[in-house]
Structure 1
Amino acid sequence: MRYISTRGEAPALGFEDVLLTGLATDGGLYVPESLPHFSLEEIRSWRGLSYSELAFKVMYPFVDDAIPEDDFHTMLDETYSVFAHQSVAPLVQLDTNEWVLELFRGPTLAFKDFALQLLGRLLDYVLEKRKQHVVIMGATSGDTGSAAIEGCRRCEHVDIFILHPHERVSEVQRRQMTTVKGDNIHNIAVRGNFDDCQRMVKESFGNQSFLGGKTQLAAVNSINWARIMAQIVYYFQASLALGGPDRSMAFSVPTGNFGDIFAGYLAKKMGLPISQLVIATNRNDILHRFMSGNKYEQHQLEHTLSPSMDIMVSSNFERLLFDLHGRDGAAVKLLLENAAKGPVSIEEYRWKHARKLFDSDAVDDKTTCDTIREIYEQNEYLLDPHTAIGVRAARNCRRDKAVPMITLGTAHPAKFPDAIAESGLTIKPELPAHMADLFEREERYTVLDNNIAGVQEFIAENWKNT
């Protein structure tokens, strides 16, 4: 398996190098040169597999000869054994043919655990094999940071620097990151928004001279292909649990950076019958505006009750644009250069092709709170604000009620008590036992100005091998 850049100018790489590289040297994102494709018969034969067994079937073609089969099996078993539910990703029914796929049963209570628990093990394996040390630099709008830290904190060959927007993540999200002990863990609160943090990460990957040639950066954000790869699996699991592949499925995905829903798009291309993918966004609705009106235009980023989606520059959308443009890297590069200057559209036939699969909706804070309250009153089931947006978008965009609609439950409601309170419910969601003392733990983080030079200087001075 070889990987190529969405901008067409970087060299093709194998899995190990893509794992460690993150962003391509031409500024693009790596995607597989070709996708594996599974027949309906083969997918049907996977019924009854455990989550880790299914994960092996779906993911190993991407890893191929980079990791022996037995070693990859072991990694997957270890990764998903730490989840709090035996099925790893259980389904909960809300209404007739309407479901929530609970992706928050991992150690940090968010869907990011599915990929980042595995990513830490993959990094340790490859870095030990190469006798190499790297610096992880990542940006988080709330959940990626804690999942990355939890997944990588025991790695002997990494230092971790996670940037989050100062005072723009929930207190639980912040504390999950800043209370983890370890000399190799560094949390940076940037006086800016998530897009500022993400821009610094991308620019740093493009020019790593601030590290003095002594190490290299590795990515934990969803620009890293391994993140996307791991998220494909639960689309297959949910489908198989509800009668797939002999019936098609629809999915609604709360998304800001487009990584989680892009994994669903790949699942369909790999042979899983999916008839609809709903892009569910909050007021930061760049993806909805593009999908509903073929206009890609950045607006001012707004702070909402669903902070993990407070994103205006959706990195992984580039991967979809690459496919929509016939995998023409030069065309994608030109489009994104123009998008940095003002609004852009794509050819009508390309946009209409995307619309055959994708629908979208933008849900404001009031409607988010109304949905949390409504679902609780109907089912005594508590949604976090992101999942509530997914449920509302699913109901607004649903094409066919005979097709099961599955909303991805991306985070535990205990991470967002302010949104629950604002919904008018008096119930207070409790943190699981392993986090019961979270508010008593000592925090460690550094607040820095929204200035890339200062952030890079901090990283250069604080990674342990300097």
Structure 2
Amino acid sequence: MKYISTRGNAPELGFEDVLLTGLASDGGLYVPKQLPHYPLHEIRSWRELPYHELAFKVVQPFVAGAIPDDVLKVMLQETYQGFAHTAVAPLTQLDHNEYVLELFQGPTLAFKDFALQLFGRLLDYVLEKRGERVVIMGATSGDTGSAAIEGCKRCQNVDIFILHPHNRVSEVQRRQMSTVISDNIFNIAVEGNFDDCQQMVKQSFGDQSFLKDERRLVAVNSINWARIMAQIVYYFYASLNLGGPDRKVAFSVPTGNFGDIFAGYLARQMGLPIEQLVIATNQNDILHRFMSQNLYKKEPLSHTLSPSMDIVVSSNFERLLFDLHDRDGASIKALMEKMSHEDVSIEVDRMAKAREIFDSFAVDDDLTCQTIKQVYQETGYLLDPHTAIGVKAAREVRRTFAVPMVTLGTAHPVKFSDAIERAGLQAPELPGHMSDLFRREERLFVLGNNLQEVQNFMAEKVFR
């Protein structure tokens, strides 16, 4: 499997190098040169497989030649053994043909665990094989940071720097990061918003000269292909548990950075019969406005009760645009440069192609809380605010009730007590393995919204 950049001016890489690279040298994102495609009879044959065995079927083509099959099988088994539910990604029914796919059964109670628990194992294997030490740098709007730290904390050959917007993540999210104290883990609270953090990461990957001694940065955000790859699996898993591939399924995905829903798009491209993908956003609704109005226009960031979606610039959207523009890297390079400083629309036929599969809806804080309360009153099931946005969006733009609608349950409600209480409900208690979270020692570093300050801090700590 070879990987190419969305901007068309970077070398093709194999999986090992893509894992360690993140952004391509031309500023683009890596995607497979060719996707595997499975006939329905082969997908049907996977129905009885447990999650880790299904994951092997889906992931193996993307790592072939880099990770031996026997090693990959062990990695996948170990990754998903650590989840709280034996089904790994259980489905809960809310109504007729309406489901939540619980992706919060991992150690940090968020869907990011599916990819980052595997990512840490892949990274350990490749770095040990190469005899390299690297610097992980990531930006988080809430969940990626704790999942990255949990997934990579055992890695012997990494230093980890996670940037989050100061006072703009929930207390549980912050403590999940700041209470993991180790000589190689550094939580940085940036006095800015998530987009500021993400921009610092992108700039640092573009010019790594602040690092010395042949060190290089590795991305844990969803710009890293390994993140997307692992997330494709649960679309197949949900479909197969609801009668797929002989029955189409629709998905509603709470999304900020577009990585999770892009994994669903890839599952469809690989042969999974998906009827509809719903882009569910909060009031930071640039993706909804683009899909509904064909207008990519940045608006000031709003801080909401669903902080993991408080994002204006959705990095992974570039990967979809690459496909919509017939994988023409030069066109994407020009388009992305234009998007950085002005409002943009795309050709009508390309927009029509996107709308064949995608719908969208934006949900503000009040409607989020109303949905949390309504679903709880109807079913006794407690949604976190991000999942509630997914449920509400699905109900608003669902194309047909004949097709099961699955909302991706992206986080456990315990992480967002403010939203639960604002909905007039009692916040749940922390699960057993986190019951002492508020008594644990914290360590984080508050830095200004300044790239030089952050890079100087990192260089000092890496070469301490």
Please classify the TM superposition score into its range, dividing by the shorter chain length.
Answer: over 0.9
Show the counterpart of 1:229: 229
> Gapped runs of 5+ residues in structure 1?
none
Deviations 1:293-348 (A, max 9, x none): 10001110010000000000000000000000000011011111111111000000
Matched, 1:198 2:198: yes
- 1:49 & 1:461 partners in 2: Cα distance? 48
Deviations 1:102-133 (A, max 9, x none): 00000000000000000000000000000000
Give the secondary structure class of the aligned counterpart of 1:66.
Answer: coil
Show the counterpart of 2:189: 189
**One-letter code of the match for 1:460?**
A
- 2:31 & 2:213 partners in 1: Cα distance? 27
Superposition deviation, residue 430 in structure 1 = 1.1
Moved more, 427-436 or 356-365: 427-436
Give the secondary structure class of the aligned counterpart of 1:210.
Answer: coil
**One-letter code of the match for 2:15?**
F
TM-score in terms of structure 2 length = 1.00
- 1:99 & 1:351 partners in 2: Cα distance? 29
Show the counterpart of 2:211: 211
Runs of 4+ in structure 1 deviating by more than 6 angstroms, as ranges, are none
Superposition deviation, residue 212 in structure 1 = 2.3
Matched, 1:29 2:29: yes
Give the secondary structure class of the aligned counterpart of 2:54.
Answer: helix
Show the counterpart of 1:73: 73
Deviations 1:185-225 (A, max 9, x none): 00000000000000000000000000024300001000000
Give the secondary structure class of the aligned counterpart of 1:99.
Answer: strand
**One-letter code of the match for 1:342?**
E
- 1:386 & 1:227 partners in 2: Cα distance? 19
- 1:341 & 1:2 partners in 2: Cα distance? 32
**One-letter code of the match for 2:97?**
N
- 1:187 & 1:220 partners in 2: Cα distance? 14
Matched, 1:86 2:86: yes
**One-letter code of the match for 1:41?**
H
Superposition deviation, residue 65 in structure 1 = 1.1
- 1:354 & 1:47 partners in 2: Cα distance? 29
Show the counterpart of 2:312: 312
**One-letter code of the match for 1:219?**
A
Show the counterpart of 1:461: 460
Show the counterpart of 2:390: 390
Matched, 1:371 2:371: yes
Show the counterpart of 1:10: 10
- 1:459 & 1:428 partners in 2: Cα distance? 37
Backbone CA RMSD of aligned residues? 0.6
Superposition deviation, residue 428 in structure 1 = 2.0
- 2:277 & 2:244 partners in 1: Cα distance? 16
- 2:131 & 2:110 partners in 1: Cα distance? 32
- 1:63 & 1:135 partners in 2: Cα distance? 22
- 1:181 & 1:444 partners in 2: Cα distance? 7
- 1:232 & 1:68 partners in 2: Cα distance? 20
- 1:381 & 1:221 partners in 2: Cα distance? 30
Deviations 1:67-123 (A, max 9, x none): 110000000001000000001000000000000000000000000000000000000
**One-letter code of the match for 2:77?**
D
**One-letter code of the match for 2:82?**
V
Deviations 1:139-182 (A, max 9, x none): 00000000000000010000000000000000000000000121
**One-letter code of the match for 1:132?**
E
For 1:133-212, list aligned pairs within 5 A: 133-212=133-212
Matched, 1:292 2:297: no
- 1:430 & 1:319 partners in 2: Cα distance? 39
- 2:198 & 2:341 partners in 1: Cα distance? 18
For 1:317-328, list aligned pairs within 5 A: 317-328=317-328
Give the secondary structure class of the aligned counterpart of 1:209.
Answer: coil
Give the secondary structure class of the aligned counterpart of 2:159.
Answer: strand
Show the counterpart of 2:440: 441
Deviations 1:376-431 (A, max 9, x none): 00000000000000000000010000000000000000000000000111x22111
- 1:169 & 1:84 partners in 2: Cα distance? 24
TM-score in terms of structure 1 length = 0.99
- 1:82 & 1:56 partners in 2: Cα distance? 17
- 1:415 & 1:151 partners in 2: Cα distance? 18
Show the counterpart of 1:340: 340
Show the counterpart of 1:403: 403
**One-letter code of the match for 1:66?**
A
Superposition deviation, residue 239 in structure 1 = 0.2
> Gapped runs of 5+ residues in structure 2?
none
Deviations 1:212-247 (A, max 9, x none): 243000010000000000000000000000000001
Deviations 1:351-376 (A, max 9, x none): 01100100000000000000000000
Show the counterpart of 2:431: 432
**One-letter code of the match for 1:372?**
I
Show the counterpart of 1:242: 242
- 2:427 & 2:212 partners in 1: Cα distance? 49
Deviations 1:235-291 (A, max 9, x none): 000000000000101000000000000000000000000010000000000000000
- 1:340 & 1:267 partners in 2: Cα distance? 29
State percent identity of aligned pairs: 73
**One-letter code of the match for 1:401?**
F
Matched, 1:276 2:276: yes
- 1:416 & 1:3 partners in 2: Cα distance? 37
- 2:300 & 2:131 partners in 1: Cα distance? 44
- 2:275 & 2:94 partners in 1: Cα distance? 20
- 1:182 & 1:212 partners in 2: Cα distance? 22
- 1:76 & 1:159 partners in 2: Cα distance? 24
Matched, 1:252 2:252: yes
